[in-house]
Amino acid sequence: MIKNKKYSFFWSIALFITMAAILLFFGCAKERAETTNSSIAGDNAYTDWRSGTYTTIALDGSTATVKGEGAAVNGGVVTISSAGTYVVSGSISDGSLVVDSSTDGTVRMVLNGTEITSATTAPIYVKNAGKAIISLEPGTTNTLTDSSTYIHTDAANQEPDATIFSKDDLVFNGTGTLKVTGNAGDAIKGKDDLLIVEGTFDITAADDGITGKDLTQIDGGTFTIKAGGDGIKATNDTDTTKGAVTLNGGTYTITTGADGVQAVTDLTVGGGTYTITTGGGSANALTKTDTQMRPGVSQSTSDTDTSDTGSYKGLKSTGQVMVGGGTFMLDTKDDALHANNTITINGGELTAASGDDGIHADTTLTINDGTINITKSYEGLESADVTIAGGSINVVASDDGINVAGGDGSSTSEERPGAGNFNKTGGSNLLTITGGTTTVNAGGDGLDANGSIAISGGITLVDGPTDNGNGALDYDGTCEVTGGVLITAGSSGMAQFPSDGSTVGTVAMTFSSTQAAGTLVNISDASGKSIVSYTPSKAFSAIGISVPDLATGGNYILSKGGSDAGSATGALVQGGSYSGGTAVVSFTLSSTRTGLNESGPTTITNGMGGGAPGGQGPGQGGPGGR
């Protein structure tokens, strides 16, 4: 018994140490997350320097005058050697401000109407400091310009290499204006944390606009960025806890030759207004060749340029993208939003015209809320797993509206630049819709899942393809509708409808001839009470209608044409006042899923031109049509 007590004591100590380590780990992880997403003001906020001790640096043509301690002048170079506040004014035609502090304190540079041009190096170079703060004095305009060629003082590392270059933490505050021109490469570059509290920034760069390494965080300000490379980025790819970009607010107009905003780990947007154009915009996208053509389907495509392997995404992360708010106007040659891991959208208003995918996540895309309007895309939403729990979503796609397939979208083997080979393997490939309103207008498949589709809430409206090589609904596993509304309209050649296991009443109607775009389809009960009306925006020959008010055993009439005076959700009216149409077929919903054509009930067939009478054709598990 004594021996057992001793072991019990040791096991208790071991368990205590293990639990403490676990709590410490998760506590640190939470602290890192809170630090990254919280406001950076605090000690970084602008304060009036006049109330304290400061040194003045007056720039004058080709030299400068220093009054106070901590700075010295050598020709056109002003070197700050200790912590403190330095107020800089005037202009210099060929000079630089170098921070090389022997102490660990903060060096604060107040730009108080400053113009610095350098023919050989960075106009502002923070070589060594505990932390550097650049304050933009309210009401002033400050201009920094470098040359197209540098003489690097650190030849081994080819540094400095930006108009503003810092090896240590760099903070910007103050409501003044800063104009930065990076003729050689980057405009603003930090090799540690780069934090912006506020200010007005007018940035032109041959390469990147604003670059931090461990963290780039902006809480507010007004930004106009024209960059040959990326607009805003973080670059640390060796530490998984770093390399993040956090944008909590501000107004941004970003025009780039590459990506708009790029992070290595987390890209978090909490608010702000963003107008981003990449690679010349969506009109400049390369032609996509569909290598997944279905047997017997003729398709003509043309390629404009297969040599472009650049990346031109709007918001991009090698890790995850999280959007909690903000207003976005994106016009991108490549994906509008892209993550090699996950994307989570909890709010905001997004309008995007994309030359490739509207929103692409390699592993998981989750939309909980927000307004998303993808006005142009190759594929609208794409991920190995997609969950829509809320929000208002409108997707226009030349190919698939929502594509759920596994793979890596980061390589460049296809014709679209940076599009990647999103291989249709791996993952659960599940499309889950539990809420929200989703409207899809697709030239290819409307909802396309390599796995299954589960709909338990929300309103989902799909105007699918007009060609018979695609379908408004396309799945390989099952499509179970247990709640909400699903309406799919499109061609009949590859048409699929909800599968067994669905509990919401479903009508699968196939017409003998193509119906014109704008032809309303209505279902009313035998007494004439309207149940549902839908008006497809494109020509169609098959339509699937799943709504909770369709009851098994009920008698109904399907009509076309006419009008419905009820309250509309897009092209959908439920429980309205229908009149003026032509009755097509009367039927009894004999089971949860009932197939129809003009002659009456038929067997539902998926993927092979549904509506064949007498049970002809394959059953519900027909070809996926991919």
The verdict on residue 398 lying in a domain is yes
- Note whether 142 and 255 are same-domain residues: no
Query: What total of structural domains would you count in the chain?
Result: 3
The verdict on residue 38 lying in a domain is no
Beta partners for 57? 66, 88
pLDDT digits (tens, 9 = 90+) for 128-164: 999 999 999 999 999 999 999 999 888 899 999 999 9
Q: Which of 124, 85, 87 is nearest to 105 (CA)?
A: 85
pLDDT of residue 605: 77
pLDDT digits (tens, 9 = 90+) for 547-569: 999 999 999 999 999 999 999 99
User: Distance between CA 328 and CA 340 in Å, rounded?
Assistant: 21
pLDDT digits (tens, 9 = 90+) for 338-350: 999 999 999 999 9
- Note whether 478 and 589 are same-domain residues: yes
- Note whether 543 and 606 are same-domain residues: yes
- Note whether 325 and 361 are same-domain residues: yes
Domain endpoint, select from 428, 446, 475: 428
- Note whether 382 and 269 are same-domain residues: yes
User: Distance between CA 615 and CA 554 in Å, rounded?
Assistant: 22
pLDDT digits (tens, 9 = 90+) for 33-67: 333 456 788 899 999 999 999 999 999 999 999 99
The verdict on residue 569 lying in a domain is yes
The verdict on residue 621 lying in a domain is no
Sequence-distant contacts of 604-607: CB under 8 A, at least 24 apart:
604/497, 604/508, 606/495, 606/496, 606/497, 606/499, 607/471, 607/494, 607/495, 607/496
pLDDT of residue 289: 57
Domain endpoint, select from 207, 232, 261: 207
C-beta atoms surrounding 283 within 10 Å: 10
The verdict on residue 358 lying in a domain is yes
User: Distance between CA 53 and CA 553 in Å, rounded?
Assistant: 86
Q: What are phi and psi of 430, to 5 degrees?
A: -110, 130
The verdict on residue 77 lying in a domain is yes
As a whole number, the mean pLDDT across the chain is: 88
Cα separations (Å) of 181 from 176, 207, 278?
17, 11, 19
For residues 361 and 406, the answer to whether their CB atoms sit within 8 Å is no
Select the more confidently predicted residue: 568 or 620. Answer: 568
Task: Order the strands of the 530-534 sheet from edge to edge.
Answer: 568-569, 572-574, 530-534, 521-525, 555-560, 582-588
- Note whether 99 and 168 are same-domain residues: yes
Side-chain-facing half-sphere of 37: CA atoms under 13 Å = 15
- Note whether 252 and 174 are same-domain residues: no
- Note whether 187 and 246 are same-domain residues: no
Q: What are phi and psi of 56, to 5 degrees?
A: -100, 140
Domain span including residue 569 = 455-615
- Note whether 277 and 373 are same-domain residues: yes
- Note whether 256 and 319 are same-domain residues: yes
For residues 385 and 258, the answer to whether their CB atoms sit within 8 Å is no
- Note whether 375 and 482 are same-domain residues: no
- Note whether 180 and 87 are same-domain residues: yes
The verdict on residue 433 lying in a domain is no
Give the confidence band of 545 by pLDDT, cuts at 50, 70, 90: very high
Domain endpoint, select from 409, 428, 447: 428
The verdict on residue 74 lying in a domain is yes
Select the more confidently predicted residue: 443 or 25. Answer: 443
